[in-house]
Amino acid sequence: MSYRLTVVVPVYNEQDNLLRVEKVFKDYFEIAAVPTQVLFVNDGSKDRSQELIEEICARSEGFQFISFAQNCGLSAAIKAGFDYTTTPLVGYIDSDLQTTPEDFNILIKYAEEYDLVTGHRADRKDSFVKNMSSTIANNIRRAFTHDGMDDTGCPLKIIKTDYAKRIPMFRGLHRFLPAMIMLQNGKTIQVPIRHFPRIAGTAKFGLWNRLLGPLMDCFAYLWMKKKYINYDVAKRSDG
């Protein structure tokens, strides 16, 4: 099959969610707006995640994986997924499935005109503390980046792969994907999507790394923005 979209699914100790990820995506493949495949990125899980991932990839078409030798963090997992993607479009979703693959069909409608399409969890199904800390963090990021995004941490995105591969990812920069596309003079848009409570597994980010982490990352972003290089090739030789 000639796939058009690769969905990167970072995994860190998500053994209780992976079979559900398989089922939900197999259902989604039947209704996907464009031919779609999944790329698991196992971020050094200590549970049975890798075993389950290999079983899924062996028995189900449309699933692939890469596995880190050790835990490197969410930014590294997303960056590796971008690097190993060969389709024109690359998506991202968390393995906790608090967002649904079905909503990629909403985002894909904008993927021709825009270089990044990100979801906006307008009706989040999280605790008050988690919602409030995320709101504060988003306000901090927006003040630094001026990206106009209300929910940069939403784990449902589609990016043109050429742009995704040029993102100079470092730890924490997964929170700045829209801003990093804008540094490339790319066009971004946010689109309302559905959000669901976590059914299994545990959240990997707490109150402090939702607030202090983003604040520190903002200064890294400002440094990156100052040093970032853009160029346009006007002409090249054949061959």
Q: Based on the structure, what is the number of domains in the chain?
A: 1
| pLDDT tens-digit map of 109-148 | 999 999 999 998 776 655 555 655 666 666 666 666 667 7
Give the 3-state secondary structure of residue 157.
Answer: strand
| pLDDT tens-digit map of 184-221 | 999 999 999 987 766 665 555 554 555 566 667 777 77
Contact 193, 156 (CB under 8 A): yes
Looking at the domain assignment, is residue 128 inside a domain? Answer: yes
Looking at the domain assignment, is residue 235 inside a domain? Answer: no
Looking at the domain assignment, is residue 37 inside a domain? Answer: yes
Task: Give the structural domain span for 203.
Answer: 5-227
Contact 98, 113 (CB under 8 A): no
pTM for the predicted model, two decimal places: 0.82
> Can you tell me which residue has the tokens 């200590």?
46
- Does 33 score more than 80 pLDDT? yes
Strands 36-42 and 89-93: unpaired
Q: Rounded CA gap, 29 and 178, in Å?
A: 26
Looking at the domain assignment, is residue 112 inside a domain? Answer: yes
Contact 111, 186 (CB under 8 A): no
Looking at the domain assignment, is residue 237 inside a domain? Answer: no
Q: Rounded CA gap, 44 and 101, in Å?
A: 24
**DSSP for 2-15?**
--SEEEEEEESS-T
Torsion of CA 134, 138, 141, 147, to 10 degrees: 150
Looking at the domain assignment, is residue 233 inside a domain? Answer: no
> Which CATH number do you get for residue 27?
3.90.550.10
Looking at the domain assignment, is residue 14 inside a domain? Answer: yes
95 DSSP assignment: T
| pLDDT tens-digit map of 61-104 | 999 999 999 999 999 999 999 999 999 999 999 999 989 999 99
Residue 214: its H or E element: helix 207-227
Looking at the domain assignment, is residue 188 inside a domain? Answer: yes
Strand segments (E) across 32-83: 36-42, 63-67
Which carries the bigger pLDDT value, residue 42 or residue 1? Answer: 42
